[in-house]
Amino acid sequence: MSAAEGTTHGHASVYRRVLRRETHVSRSGAVVVAMLLTLVTAAAVVFAAVLVLLDQNVLGVEPRAVVDAAARAPRGLETTVVVGIGAIVAIVGLVLLLQGVLPQRRPRHTMPSRRLAVVVDDEVLASAAARAARSATRLGPDAAVGTVGRRTVDVVLRPAAGVDVPAVAASDAVTAEFAEIDAKPSLAARVRVQPTGRVDG
Amino acid sequence: MNATNRALGRAALVVVGLVLLVLGVAAVLVQTVPWAASLWQDLARGLGDLGADASREDSVTAWTWVLGGGVLLGVLALVVLSSLGGGRVGTVVEDDGSAEGVAGTVRIDAAAVQHALSSAIGALPSVASLAVDVYRVRGARAVRIRVRPRRGASPRALTRSVEEVVTDLDALLGERLPVLLEIARGGSGSGREDRVH
């Protein structure tokens, strides 16, 4: 009966998990790079160990001699080469570390729904905002530009020179649209009319 | 929405990142700062068994440990790599109806749900294109509907229409599957305006 219980109680935990995953960036690219580096290192270590155990060397390089040279550092090593390689390794490590530690959000919002888990790209919200602002005016399709941040939605109206724009009506239309959308995290709407008019053909 | 284990991936990134960072900084310090160099040379005496001066037996023992460590490291990396991706499934519902005492099973393929949803949602005027996939999430089946709307389409109106379609699907399947609706940007046809507002 657990399936029936799941349906009556909705899918809260599945939805929470899905929405968290959909609003954050997957690190799989960085993970693949890190694991390939690890694999190459592991292969080199295994190769070196096998060489020693079989008492062989490759191109006159003997793993035991390499260990001795490293143990004598900094004597007998070229400073610029070591510092250069060390810096590169440290930077790669720092990048991978930050990739793993930083929370990386996607430019997306979620919307509440009684049945679905919904994520919306910010670009879609921006275009809906532009359309809403324009619908309250008599401007052409490219006269309104919307921008959506994490907590704000900005619409810039750029009317042709001499055209009067009902800015309050446009602002109300955007606010009404976003009250209906009810995006999480919530968005505060702002409409500006760009005073420098365009000249349309 | 795939089955990638993100916690494992992030843990692996943190570990590999820290190790590389420490190694790189340590190499620079040993080469340039005298006290770091003397500290390293104290520590490096512990590596004697790996060097050329060690006896054959000590050498073999030490390098066998190194061999084991390398193999272990490689296996761990492969385990993390294999945890990426996957999770897409071909079956939405599988029910043998044993409570009713009738023989046989009912199995609904993902393709059936994909076709049903695609034809119903694709007919909406504000939808430019869409894709439907079925994934395994926490042992249950979940449907992902990725919709690319036309420019300026209202996300709330679109959500409401999809809710209706999914409610119909619930009635059809007799089961309420978890459904993710992803309203994505771009895509073919999305540059065109929705002609009727």
List the single range of A7-21, A130-144, B157-171 with lowest mean pLDDT.
A7-21
**Is residue B78 predicted with pLDDT exceeding 60?**
yes
- Domain with B105, as residue range(s), is 91-183
A74–B37 CB contact, under 8 Å? yes
CA B49 to chain centre: 43
Is B54 an 8 Å CB contact of chain A?
Answer: yes
Same structural domain, B11 and B58: yes
Is B101 among the domain residues?
A: yes
> What are the structure tokens assigned to A77, written together?
């090593």
* Dihedral (CA of A23, A24, A25, A31) sign: negative
pLDDT over 90, % of chain A: 31
Look at residue B189 and tell me if it is in a domain: no
Report yes or no: B96 and B105 within 8 Å, Cβ to Cβ: yes
Closest CA to A164 of A138, A128, A127: A138
- Report yes or no: B88 and B135 within 8 Å, Cβ to Cβ: yes
Q: Is the CB of B166 less than 8 angstroms away from the CB of A39?
A: no
Give the mean model confidence (pLDDT) for residues A96-107.
90
Of A94 and A27, the structure prediction assigns the larger pLDDT to A94
Q: What is the pTM of this model?
A: 0.77
The Cα–Cα gap between A4 and A9 comes to 9
User: Which of B54, B82, B110 finishes a domain?
Assistant: B82
The last residue of one of the domains, among B64, B82, B100, is: B82
Q: Do A177 and B13 touch (CB under 8 A)?
A: no
Residue B197 domain-assigned (yes or no): no
Mutate one of A124, A139, A178, A182 to test the B interface: name it (highest B CB count within 10 A): A124
Q: Are residues B114 and B179 in the same domain?
A: yes
Query: Domain-by-domain residue ranges, chain A?
Result: 25-101, 108-193
Contact with chain A for residue B178, Cβ under 8 A? yes
Q: How many domains does chain B have?
A: 2
Tell me the C-alpha distance between B8 and B10, whole Å. 6
Class of residue B32 by CB neighbours under 10 A (exposed 0-12, middle 13-18, buried 19+): middle
Q: Are residues B45 and B125 in the same domain?
A: no
Does B122 lie in the same domain as B52? no
Residue of B nearest to A144 (CA): B152
Q: Are residues B75 and B110 in the same domain?
A: no
Question: Is there a domain that residue B13 lies in?
Answer: yes
- Statement to judge: residues B67 and B105 lie in one domain: no
What per-residue confidence (pLDDT) applies to B13? 93
E-state strands within B88-174: 91-95, 106-109, 127-137, 140-149
Q: Hey, CA dihedral for B158, B164, B168, B170, is it positive or negative?
A: positive
Last residue of a domain, one of B41, B61, B82: B82
Q: Quick: pLDDT tens for B107-138.
A: 888 898 899 889 999 888 888 888 898 988 87
Q: What is the CA A181 to chain-centroid distance, rounded?
A: 23
Which residue shows structure tokens 């104290």?
Answer: B42
ipTM of the complex: 0.77
CATH number at B144 reads: 3.30.70.1350
- The yes-or-no verdict on residue A63 having pLDDT over 60 is yes
Query: Cβ separation of B28 and A87 shorter than 8 Å?
Result: yes
Rounded Cα gap, residues B29 and A126, in angstroms: 50
Q: How far apart are CA B100 and CA B92, in angstroms?
A: 21
Q: Which residue has the tokens 């995953």?
A: A21
Would you say residue B1 lies in a domain?
no
Instruction: Note whether B71 contacts A: Cβ–Cβ < 8 A.
Output: yes
* Beta carbons of B166 and A38 less than 8 Å apart: no
Do the domain assignments include residue B194? no
The answer as to whether B131 is a domain residue is: yes
